[in-house]
Amino acid sequence: MRGAVSTLIRSIADADAAAGAASHIAVQTFNDSETLTALRNGSGNLELIGWHTPPGDAGVTRAAYSSTQAGTAQEVALALMGRRAVTAVRGGSGTLLPISWDVPPGLGAITRTWDIGTAAGDASLIATATVGADLSATSISAGDGLVIDNVQPYPMFGWLEARWVPIVKTTKPPLTTANVNQWLKSVLADPARARQLKDGWVELLIDEFTTTKEQVESLALIPADHAKDLQTAIGRVVDHGGTIVVERDSEDRPGKLIITPRPASPNVAELSVGVFHCTFNAHCRKWKCGWGPAKK
């Protein structure tokens, strides 16, 4: 006879008393750090609340909520379609009321966008499910999306939302001095892209710019020892702050790449940190790099 195996399930985080009285609670997650709840609050009204739930954090932080955008709710169900939330509630008059909500990334706002009005009729035992999001018209079979069976005591309702979705073609900027300097500022201000810059600046540069075959070859010809020191200097700027600037009079002239890391500690003399210089010829070749004293 085998012995029973017990499993311990314990809470790793909670939001303390951040929400207040609630019942008929439904929960869905957008991703591993954004959660949405739909509930009947202490006043008897439908309320949506966003929650930040970062993996590994010992805490749950309340984000935006729907405030007074919805009325009485006797039952609550919730479904997500991309960044669109759909609540289905039994309203104060006992009728089914599906409501659509816009919930942008970051949970900075929850905005009511649409409802079905009184078209659904009386309902109870309400539940929701999704059949798909952002489907092309040709991928939906005839009759799918709307199911009405009047033989049942509580017919099931569905709906399709149709809209034009423009195809946006993103064009990468050309690899010019002005564009690179603007790009470097934006990358250093974005922690996720800054990490990519630290791990491999050439790969990120080529990925985000329209480059010629000659430009790619020039970057590949940077001597290995110079390339290693250059990547280290960029990493110091990412970790501790500083500037990365390309100086060039025109696109057909020689230029310089100047990296000025900020000292890791206020006690470190600026002169001991220095500036990393790289020079290259008019064809972006013959790279020569090295550390030099900081400018005063």
Residue 171 in domain: no
Residue 277 in domain: yes
Q: Name residue 111's beta-bridge partners.
A: 102
Are 293 and 258 within 8 A, CB to CB? no
Per-residue CA distances from 79 to 63, 82, 240 (Å): 19, 10, 43
Of the residues 120, 139, 158, the one at which a domain ends:
139
Which pLDDT does position 168 carry in this prediction?
A: 64
Residues 132 and 204 in one domain: no
Look at strands 61-65 and 75-81 and give their pairing: unpaired
Per-residue CA distances from 114 to 102, 169, 176, 238 (Å): 9, 29, 46, 44
Listing DSSP states for 184-249 in one string gives HHHHHTSHHHHHHHHH-HHHHHHHHSB--HHHHHHHHTS-HHHHHHHHHHHHHHHHH-EEEEEEES
Residues 90 and 190 in one domain: no
Residue 9 in domain: no
Residue 150 in domain: no
Residues 92 and 186 in one domain: no
- The angle at the Cα of 167, spanning 164 to 172, to the nearest 5 degrees, equals 155
Q: Is this prediction's pTM over 0.95?
A: no
143-147: long-range contacts (C-beta < 8 A, 24 or more apart)?
A: none
Question: What values do phi and psi take at 194, rounded to 5?
Answer: -65, -40
Residues 189 and 126 in one domain: no
Length of the chain: 296
Number of domains into which the chain is organized: 2
pLDDT per residue rounded down to tens, the chain (296 residues): 455 566 655 555 566 556 688 898 999 999 989 999 999 999 999 999 999 988 877 678 899 999 899 989 888 989 888 888 988 888 878 888 888 899 999 999 999 988 877 666 676 666 666 655 555 444 455 555 555 556 655 555 555 566 666 666 668 899 999 999 999 999 999 999 999 999 999 999 999 999 888 999 999 999 999 999 999 999 999 999 999 999 999 988 999 999 999 876 655 444 445 899 999 998 889 999 998 875 54
Residues 184 and 135 in one domain: no
Residues 198 and 99 in one domain: no
CATH assignment at residue 110: 2.40.128
Tell me the C-alpha distance between 99 and 111, whole Å. 11
pLDDT in tens, 21-68: 889 899 999 998 999 999 999 999 999 999 998 887 767 889 999 989
Residue 118 in domain: yes
Helix (H, G, I), strand (E, B) or coil at 179: helix
Q: Tokens for 196?
A: 């990519």
Which pLDDT does position 246 carry in this prediction?
A: 95
Residue 38 in domain: yes
Residues 181 and 286 in one domain: yes
Residue 239 in domain: yes
Number of Cβ within 10 Å of residue 194's Cβ equals: 19
Which pLDDT does position 204 carry in this prediction?
A: 93
Of the residues 139, 164, 191, the one at which a domain ends:
139
Q: Name residue 48's beta-bridge partners.
A: 38
Residue 92 in domain: yes
Which residues constitute the domain of residue 72?
A: 22-139
Of the residues 124, 139, 154, the one at which a domain ends:
139
Distance of CA 16 to the CA centre of its chain: 26
